[in-house]
Amino acid sequence: MILKEIIDMVKNIAYGVLIALFIIKFIGGTAIVSQISMQTTLYDGDILWVEKITPTFGKLKRGDIITIYAPKIITGQGNTLVKRIVAVEGDHLLIKNGKVFVNGAAIEENYTKGDYTRPPNEPKNNDIIISSDYIYCLGDNRTDPIHDSRSMGEIDLNNITGRVLFRFYPLKKIGSLVNK
């Protein structure tokens, strides 16, 4: 009788672990902001809920905050970055006089830190038509030289690990980050 209860308990724990792993791998999980590149929207230490369904099956759009796997070659650390999509496949992006233009129009960006976007170090990342299955993303803090499309170029959709939906820490800033 005790052996049967132990076996049932082990099976239930195993099922729980499998369900948790499935959720983390395919549905979503958490991310912790560890840089200043998304200030004034996100700050170092913010804890986010990141869903993985939209990048896999849906359509990402301009303004979405996403997580990107950045290899060690690019960042020197091999970590996940949090950035904002500013241009999608087929868009013409230009950074000129500290402003970001998409398809000829300066984009409204009330979420950025300051009103100046530092130009890319690589001229080829400054005036570009976004390729099929790629996006162009920037941090909201545009004054510092930060790892985003200005230095990395277009981002392959396969490197996007999730779309940020919600901040649940710090508690005083809890809330949705969709369309922020």
Which comes out higher in pLDDT, residue 81 or 75? Answer: 81
Q: Closest Cα partner for 68 from 58, 87, 55, 57?
A: 55
pLDDT reading at 179 higher than 80: no
Can you tell me the distance from the alpha carbon of 174 to that of 47, in angstroms, rounded to the nearest whole number? 9
Q: Closest Cα partner for 125 from 154, 99, 87, 85?
A: 154
Mean per-residue pLDDT, 19-24: 77
pLDDT reading at 76 higher than 60: no
Percent of the chain with pLDDT over 70: 94
Whole-structure pTM value:
0.85
What is the structure's pLDDT at 46? 93
DSSP state of 179: T
Band (160; pLDDT cuts 50, 70, 90): very high
What is the structure's pLDDT at 145? 66
Q: Are 150 and 138 in contact (CB under 8 A)?
A: yes
Residue-by-residue DSSP string for 22-76:
HIIIIIEEEEE--SSTTTTT--TT-EEEEESHHHHHS---TT-EEEEEE-HHHHS
Which of 28-32, 52-56, 98-102, 107-111 has maximum average pLDDT?
98-102
Mean per-residue pLDDT, 128-145: 89
Average pLDDT, the chain: 85
- Phi–psi pair at 97, nearest 5 degrees: 50, 40
